[in-house]
Amino acid sequence: MWALLSVSDKRGIVDFARGLLGLGFRLLATGGTHRALAEAGLPVTYISEFTGFPEILEGRVKTLHPKVHAGLLARPDQEAELRALGLERIGVLAVNLYPFRETVARGASYEEALEQVDIGGPAMLRAAAKNHMAVLPVCDPADYPAVLEALREGPSPEFRRALARKAFAHTARYDAAIAEWLSGEKFPEEKFLVLERVSPLRYGENPHQEAALYRVAGEEGPLLEARVLQGKAMSFNNYLDAEAAWNLVSEFAEPACVAVKHQNPCGVALGETPLEAYQKAYRADPVSIFGGIVAFNREVDGPTAEAMAEVFLEVVLAPGFSEEALRVFARKKNLRLLEVPTLAQGPYLDLRRIRGGVLLQDADTQDPMAPQVVTQRAPGEAEWRDLLFAWKVVKHVRSNAIVVAKEGMTLGIGVGQTNRYAAAKHALKTAKEGAKGAVLASDAFFPFDDVVRLAAEFGIAAIIQPGGSVRDKDSIQAADEAGMAMVFTGVRHFRH
């Protein structure tokens, strides 16, 4: 029986071919695969010798031949017809497709990318996958050892179905990439989202909900590349909170610490060291941090770990952990430590599910703000630093959102309120006396001047907000009356 090998990714192909020979298969191959096997000294027949028809059109047509497809598609009960026609069965097909995604990703021309659209490969894979009870379709080099073992013992129906499923998934994602490329649009008429399961999760947001973690094919993400250094497996909620914490801590060039609870920051601070940043973030809300997620944009050292060991936390994320820090955290066996290799940077598409549909948008990773002082008093140097710090934080808070901050530290955060005044009231009351001389950031404009007047009562020195309300003049007047500085950004950061 024949085994046909035609692979773009040649990892392990020689050893696989050698194993097939040992099991009594005869080898068929195309182009570069034939060359690789012949150079390894293996007996292999070129596809044109098998079909009796030469490759034509610069290799565009070589496997699209009845002898190939009859050998792949013949059912066991069609053996007599196959032999009557002088045709032979192909029992194993190893194919992986031209590197289309990789070609497009490196900026190839339209013509070059088009040449990487595989035709014969998908046709053969689909034929073998359809006839998987007679043919083993193999598209992943990682499966070669398992295929050889199955052939020695006799492939089970379950094993055959698993290979067929994988082959159809392989061709489906390949076609999806081509269709999206041809559209040339960010939001094409058809959007094919290919998801690869990374791991099942114990449960979803609540124990009665099933869940799993998936990777979007062709995309990378810091948390998906992270190493879990210790602790229990990450949960559904852990991933959501960790993503929120990492996105925010990645905003800062200075050493920063972010504490998150239910996808909202509860304490954010800058410091000269990770320890100082953590201590300030902890003081911002020592109650809410309990059972939360803490992220750093610098390596966590021993003193920082010692300070954190006094608090119950679910997850700590950082670019690295010193040996001393790892020894300290080892005392807390259930604490998850994630070493995250890259910051969260660059654009991506944000997906939100609704029943029967999906909303897609550019994720809010850019901030094309153009700060404009609109009051009689301009912010001082220290106020400017705090305003820009608070503005970065409020971008990551659920709307309606208000952030009160001073000296590179959040003092109060108003989260997810149904009116802006309530969000401001919560943030200011949390800040208490600390609000005096602090700054206030709002994710959207003030429809009335009530928030500005409330901020003045607490002693807020400066405000940053998008502007754009029909009543902006009222808010500006209230700020001037209180001697406050106010800055318009021209950018809104709603998070629903």
Active site residue 130: yes
How far is it, in rounded angstroms, from Cα 313 to Cα 349?
A: 30
Q: Scanning the structure block, which residue is given the tokens 């998070």?
A: 495
Long-range contacts at 190-195 (CB < 8 A, ≥ 24 apart)? 191/358, 191/360, 193/351, 194/218
Q: Look up residue 83 and give its two tokens.
A: 């032999």
For residue 400, the one-letter residue type is N
The tally of CA atoms less than 13 A away on the side-chain side of residue 337 is: 22
User: ∠ CA(282), CA(441), CA(402), 5° rounding?
Assistant: 65
For residue 424, the one-letter residue type is A
Would you say 287 and 265 are in contact if contact means Cβ atoms under 8 Å apart? no
Cβ neighbours, 10 Å, residue 59: 11
Residue 434 gets which letter from DSSP? G
In terms of C-beta density within 10 A (0-12 exposed, 13-18 middle, 19 or more buried), how is residue 61 classed? middle
Would you say 90 and 72 are in contact if contact means Cβ atoms under 8 Å apart? yes
Active site residue 426: no
Q: What is the pLDDT along the chain (496 residues), one digit of tens a residue?
A: 889 999 988 899 999 999 999 999 999 998 889 899 999 999 989 988 887 777 777 667 777 788 888 889 888 878 877 788 778 888 999 998 877 777 777 787 878 777 777 788 888 899 999 999 999 999 999 999 999 999 998 999 999 999 999 999 999 988 888 888 888 888 888 888 889 999 999 999 999 999 999 999 878 899 999 999 999 899 999 999 999 999 999 999 999 999 999 999 999 999 999 999 999 999 999 999 999 999 999 999 999 999 999 899 999 999 999 999 999 999 999 999 999 999 998 888 899 989 999 999 999 998 888 899 999 999 999 999 999 999 999 999 999 999 999 999 999 999 999 999 999 999 999 999 999 999 999 999 999 999 999 999 999 999 999 999 999 999 999 999 999 999 999 999 999 8
Q: What is the DSSP secondary-structure string of 76-101?
A: GGGHHHHHHTT---EEEEEEE---HH
Residue 137 gets which letter from DSSP? E
pTM of the model: 0.86
Catalytic residue among 130, 166, 191, 232: 130
Would you say 18 and 42 are in contact if contact means Cβ atoms under 8 Å apart? yes
Domains assigned to the chain: 2-183 (3.40.50.1380), 224-339 (3.40.140.20), 372-488 (3.40.140.20)
E-strand spans in 254-409? 256-261, 264-270, 292-296, 313-318, 336-339, 349-354, 357-362, 372-373, 402-405
Type and span of the H or E element at 14: helix 13-22
